[in-house]
Amino acid sequence: MKLPDDRLPERLYSAASVREMDRASIQDHNLPGYLLMTRAAEACVQALYQHWPQPARAAIICGGGNNGGDGYVLARLLIERGVAVEALWLLPPERLKGDAAMALRDAVAADVPVRPFSTERLARCDLIVDALLGTGLERPVEGEFLSAIRAINAAHAAGAGVLAIDLPSGLAADTGCVLGEAAVIADATVSFIGLKAGLVTGAGPAHAGTLHFADLGAPAAVIAAAPVKALRYSAADRGALLGPRARTAHKGDFGHVLVIGGDAGMGGAVKLCSEAALRSGAGLVSCATHPGHASHLLSGRPEIMFRSVGSAEALASMLGRASVLAVGPGLGRSEWGRGLWKAALATALPLVLDADGLNLLADAPSRRDHWVLTPHPAEAARLLGCSTAEVQSNRFASAEALAERFGGVAVLKGAGSVIASARPEDGVPVVIAAGNPGMASGGMGDVLTGIIAALLAQGLTAFDAARLGAWLHAKAADLAVQAGGERGLIAGDLFIPLRRLVNP
């Protein structure tokens, strides 16, 4: 799986917005639809040769509408370049209309073999192009289209390359969820006019592969008028948010993070969170944790002020010295953990809430403006009173619902983490364009909590701390993977690249 790189546009759109941009370009600005189709196919040629410089035999699987039309134009362009290509249709050619029908006629005139789809033909190809279904798909894929998707995926598993035109067939353009039983798994996807939001979150990254984008020359006025669904965050403002420190700076200038958690047997969670806060630039970090392991933790990281806390009453003096709280890592839900959680929430301090801090919030919901919630999908489901599948079916709506219900900022973790704020001035949700499957290991969430808390302590707003913190976390994991691969990545591996990233 590859998430998008920083050369892609930041703005993300719904399928309806992209269709309106397409319509406005054609009808209001007199751009011929067939010209846009040709430009789309040309962009596919460029992406194709970037990934497969010498394709020997290609099959282009064509549906109806503009997506199929793009496929027929691409077939013509490839055969003109000497590639052995055939177009395999699922919608009979006589049913095509408009620009798609013109694309088919031109392909036939260029001697492109046009045949009905069959699974057997895919076995002869080293490259398959998915031009089956476009962005208009809104219901589960069934019948012969589902069979074709499964056949494409089987050929891909056997070694064939797969390029998706605009969107992998079977993937929801707006949400990144799979509509039905299967969606095409592509090595690369070329998206047109506006980057679809579903390509960068949920199942989108795993199905889209490497993303390419072409605006097809759509007029700037058309693009500017289209409503944005979300933004793909690439930390272009990192230097402004983490500017150079004054030469006269001292530790009191960068905040005091208090980490609260680590019930018996869970001291590692608060150690990771606390060290992440230090590595992210907090001036001071204290940790209130269970008496059973406070002294042991201190010996492992003496820069952190670990303190044995047996009850909520013993926490009071530490709360008075802190500027930001990080509550939840290893907290548990015993009376000890509940007492500390209630004491933390009784303050007016900004805080980051994670793990059992979120589970306790689900038991006793409340709302406040100055906190950041960092749930994974199962925790989000408990907070919203729904299933994990429902959360994942629309990650944008889920993140926005969390922010609306509980206030502050919500970071819905996962592939393409989504961040939403309850404050209208923070704008649309953002998606984190970094991260990898190696992050699916214990302790990663504790590190994220510490990073966000440290950024809050250094004066960033909750929304800025959440989006930059999530990006730093994911990007540090990507850099750590470069040193040794995804399998076996552990949370502590993020600390060294993290330190480099917070010093832009």
d(CA 504, CA 500): 7
d(CA 291, CA 308): 4
Encoded amino acid at 137, one letter: L
Signed CA dihedral, 185, 190, 196, 199: sign only: positive
Q: Is the pLDDT of residue 2 over 50?
A: no
Mean pLDDT, the chain, rounded, equals 94
Do 92 and 119 meet the contact criterion of CB atoms below 8 Å apart?
A: no
Is 0.85 topped by the overall pTM? Answer: yes
Q: Tell me, what's the pLDDT at 6?
A: 53
d(CA 145, CA 137): 12
How many CA atoms within 13 Å lie on the side-chain side of 237? 11
d(CA 449, CA 277): 8
Give the gyration radius of the chain's Cα atoms. 25
Residue with tokens 């290893």: 330
Q: In what order do the strands lie in the sheet with 195-196?
A: 195-196, 11-13, 230-233, 430-432, 418-421, 409-412, 371-373, 351-353, 324-327, 256-260, 284-289, 305-308
pLDDT digits (tens, 9 = 90+) for 443-496: 999 999 999 999 999 999 999 999 999 999 999 999 999 988 999 999 999 999
pLDDT digits (tens, 9 = 90+) for 229-250: 999 999 999 999 999 998 999 9
pLDDT digits (tens, 9 = 90+) for 104-157: 999 999 999 999 999 988 988 999 999 999 887 788 999 999 999 999 999 999
How many CA atoms within 13 Å lie on the side-chain side of 106? 21
d(CA 446, CA 326): 9
- Give which of 64, 145, 130 is closest to 103, Cα–Cα: 64
Phi, psi at 174, each rounded to 5°:
-90, -25
Q: Tell me, what's the pLDDT at 58?
A: 95
Instruction: For the chain, give the longest Cα–Cα distance.
Output: 83
- Give which of 336, 326, 308 is closest to 270, Cα–Cα: 326
**Token duo for residue 317:** 């003096």
Q: Tell me, what's the pLDDT at 433?
A: 86
Q: Is the pLDDT of residue 399 over 70?
A: yes
d(CA 142, CA 145): 6
Q: Tell me, what's the pLDDT at 7?
A: 72
Band (3; pLDDT cuts 50, 70, 90) = very low
pLDDT digits (tens, 9 = 90+) for 31-47: 999 999 999 999 999 99
